[in-house]
Structure 1
Amino acid sequence: MNHQTPVFIITGGQGQCKTTFLHLVLGLIVGLNVRVRGVIAPGHVRDGRRSGFTLVDLATGEHEELCSIDPDPRCEAHGRFYFQPVGLAFGRRALAPPDPRGTDLMVIDEVGRFELQGVVWADQLDRLTAHPHPPMIWTVRRRLLDTVVERWNITNPVVVDVGTASAMATADAVMDAVWAWREAQPFSPITAAPVPGDRVAPPALFADAAAGAPRSTPVILRRCYGPEG
């Protein structure tokens, strides 16, 4: 199964909205009872330059600060960013190898130069790709794409370039992969799922907050992508 289950790689140049494209794709499948695990990392900008990232656990909707450019001796320094120990631990828990009976899709935003250097999410990626896994979506900067595919020996990559790709078509392809994964499992899939062959219907993107979330929290952080979100 590991050699047949696709890894969708959303790619583009720096600042080309890979995370935004991923958010749109997830928004298109969230109403289809897809059990999503993993992380999405919305970025922050200060004075026209990337200043840090927040990490969102897609299974729970919880979030933690991951890193910033502000020096902090308590943090791990990688490049110009200082990574919060709490944020790293939070992400590593979210990226633990999933139970295939409870996961249809695994998301990692993003796989980049730090992982290629063996830090941040590198160990989690090694574990995820070493065992049978559900379909996955990674975001990867275009110039690192070939290196990432080779490093993790991705035998069935589906490359989605944000410059030319359609979020609707990508969501449709992801759902096809999810259905193939479910049908290949020895246990029954979750109930109340769409009929195989149904096309993706776009819900209202950037919908209201999950119940109980602070209203001051950005919508992208309030959104929970699990089947109950």
Structure 2
Amino acid sequence: MKGNSVAYKLSPLWQRAIIGGSIWGALEITLGSVLHNLIVPMAAGTLLASLGVLTVSAISAPSIQRGFFWRAALICALLKSVSPSAVILPPMVGIALEGVLMELGLLILGTNVLGLLLGGGLALLSIPLFKAIRLYMIYGQGIVEFFNSLLIQLTGSNNVIVTNHLIYTLLIIYLSLGIISALIGYSLGKNNLPIAINPIEITVFTRVGNNLNFRTYLLLIIHIIALVSYLAFASAMPTWFAILGGGLYSTLVLAFYERPRKMLLKPIFILPVLAFAFIIPLITTKLVLVPMYGSYIFVRAIFVVVTLAAIGTELAKPAVSQLFSRGFLSPVYHASSMAFNALPIYLEAFEKSKFTASSMLKSIQGVINNSSWCGNRPIFIVTGGLGEGKSTYLENLLETLGKEKGLSFKGFIARGIGAPPLREGYNLRIIPEGTDLMLCRRIGACGLPNKSFEFNDGVIVRLTTDLAAINADDILVIDEVGRMELYGEVWAGLIEHHLTKTKNVLILTVRRENLMHVVERWNLTDAYVFDINKVGVTDAAKSIKNLVLSYHAASSRK
């Protein structure tokens, strides 16, 4: 994709939300696929929402913060797009709504356990309310008339008080379920240490196209307009016209979209919809009108379901999702990209657990306790300007990290000979031996690097061979990666070897003016960047320690 490379920052709160949203999303995908096969009204949504509230409550328990819940819910909703379910948009909206309602609890009662419990209760309240809205979208006014008629037949009277009592009882049950879920989550997480995340903002890189081509979004726009128009005007149309129009559009969608087509081929989905579509008019209208009215309700239901599936498919397309990498939505886009990297780890953890209450609770707690690292192999870049002290910073960083058990380093630190900016040459201090090797000597005052310095090819070949064969737990240190490596010289081969053939953690130093080029050259878009003018050695060491130890622990469990 043509465009400009740009860098974005993700705050510690977003990093925490990545973990919470990834765990919640893994639960939705693994457990959701099992529960949605059970034909029990609202069972799947209720249990998944309860586990979602429990999970984010456990993560937030040591340090409850506003803004965490809606972020985690939004990431979870985006991860839901990889679910095997054909219709993903309504669940995605429902999950995002749960996060917003949890935030509302904190807004009302404060960032404390009471606010957390209220938020959990409000989140579960969204389940029956959202279900009612969804049923109305699918079946229209007929669903309201159906339940009214059913209540009249069951109670023997058209008593509004009876209806209100049933509604209030249902809402109290769901409010209580949410409070209990949040309380269990808080109890599981209150004694844990806060999840170890970077105490600083992390940098993420991406390439954004210069121009937006609105033809890419044409199908998405058409489906949204069609859905809104049909829901708004179908009941006012002649019934035969609403059936014909909805049927034709649904047929076109099914011809071009595989997901809804596969869903409609399943009897477990289509038969209940068909039966319910004709049960409604049997109770709510005259017998002679049942075939026509039932056909309308059936076509409306299919239209809504397949159009929502088409909208979800269009939103998942890379060209469409790239739209969200711009402006104030960019943190959402980049956080969800990191969450997609972490998702397979959490999916594997939950797929191995039994679907019992005790087993799921243990799995959730176990995953939360081992969630410092999420995603790919950590790569760290120390950056700064020419002569600002990158090598000294790196030396101090390694000295701090060298006191930690479980961390071992192999590589080298470049030591300049003479005063900057025109150094006479560079020696390499080998890690961990501490010996010095001559890398290059200046032969020219200016010009391209390969004309300014004469390199010691023997040292380059020897170190490349030795450092290509380091142990899997060793951290490779290269000081520095610059224009020569961008040209494919000096340490370029060593870098490419480790990026393509090993899983070792890398620490690189890069001049600030070369940073974007290095990221682009080796696709290091999820590297952790420490600018020596903005991040202290202590903070950088803490981040590296937490991430590397978590990465090694996750690797050993595979």
TM over 0.5: same fold? yes
Give the one of 424, 448, 451 matched to 1:51.
424
Post-superposition shift, 1:98? Answer: 2.8
| 1:123 is aligned to 2:496 | no
Counterpart for residue 415 of structure 2:
42
Q: Which amino acid aligns with 2:428?
A: L
Q: Which amino acid aligns with 2:430?
A: D
State the superposition RMSD in angstroms.
2.3
Q: Which amino acid aligns with 2:530?
A: V
Q: For residues 99-158 of structure 1, what are the alpha-carbon distances to aligned partners after superposition, in whole Å with 9 as ceiling and x for unaligned?
A: 21x41x211110000000010011111111113423221000111111101111114211
Q: Which amino acid aligns with 1:44?
A: I
Q: Which amino acid aligns with 1:162?
A: I
The separation in 2 between residues aligned to 1:82 and 1:55, in whole angstroms, is 15
Structure scoring higher RCO (CA < 8 A, sep ≥ 6) equals: 1
Q: How many residues align?
A: 180
Counterpart for residue 23 of structure 1:
395
- SS of 2:488 mapped into structure 1: coil
Q: TM-score, normalised by structure 1?
A: 0.71
| 1:84 is aligned to 2:456 | yes
- SS of 1:36 mapped into structure 2: strand
The separation in 2 between residues aligned to 1:43 and 1:184, in whole angstroms, is 38
Q: For residues 51-93 of structure 1, what are the alpha-carbon distances to aligned partners after superposition, in whole Å with 9 as ceiling and x for unaligned?
A: 111112213323210001148xxxxx82301111232223313
The separation in 1 between residues aligned to 2:456 and 2:463, in whole angstroms, is 11
- SS of 1:65 mapped into structure 2: strand
Tell me if the contact between 1:37 and 1:59 (Cα under 8 Å) persists in the aligned partners: yes
- SS of 1:185 mapped into structure 2: helix
- SS of 2:398 mapped into structure 1: helix
Post-superposition shift, 1:29? Answer: 1.0
Equivalent positions of 1:162-201 (< 5 A) are 162-186=532-556
Larger Rg: 2
Q: Percent identity?
A: 31
Tell me if the contact between 2:378 and 2:548 (Cα under 8 Å) persists in the aligned partners: no
Q: For residues 183-225 of structure 1, what are the alpha-carbon distances to aligned partners after superposition, in whole Å with 9 as ceiling and x for unaligned?
A: 02338xxxxxxxxxxxxxxxxxxxxxxxxxxxxxxxxxxxxxx
Tell me if the contact between 1:55 and 1:87 (Cα under 8 Å) persists in the aligned partners: no
The separation in 1 between residues aligned to 2:532 and 2:521, in whole angstroms, is 22
- SS of 2:424 mapped into structure 1: strand
The separation in 2 between residues aligned to 1:94 and 1:18, in whole angstroms, is 24
Structure 1 residues 25-34 or 178-187, which shifts more? Answer: 178-187
Q: Which runs of 4+ in 1 moved over 4 A?
A: none
Counterpart for residue 149 of structure 1:
519
Tell me if the contact between 1:5 and 1:156 (Cα under 8 Å) persists in the aligned partners: no
Counterpart for residue 185 of structure 2:
none
- SS of 1:79 mapped into structure 2: helix
Q: 1:155 to 1:53 in 2, by over 3 A?
A: same
Q: 1:48 to 1:9 in 2, by over 3 A?
A: closer
The separation in 2 between residues aligned to 1:147 and 1:174, in whole angstroms, is 23
Alignment gaps of 5+ in structure 2: 1-340, 342-374
Tell me if the contact between 1:44 and 1:52 (Cα under 8 Å) persists in the aligned partners: yes
The separation in 2 between residues aligned to 1:156 and 1:172, in whole angstroms, is 18
Alignment gaps of 5+ in structure 1: 72-76, 188-229
Structure (1 or 2) with the greater strand fraction: 1
The separation in 2 between residues aligned to 1:30 and 1:116, in whole angstroms, is 30
Q: Which amino acid aligns with 1:83?
A: F
Q: Which amino acid aligns with 2:480?
A: E
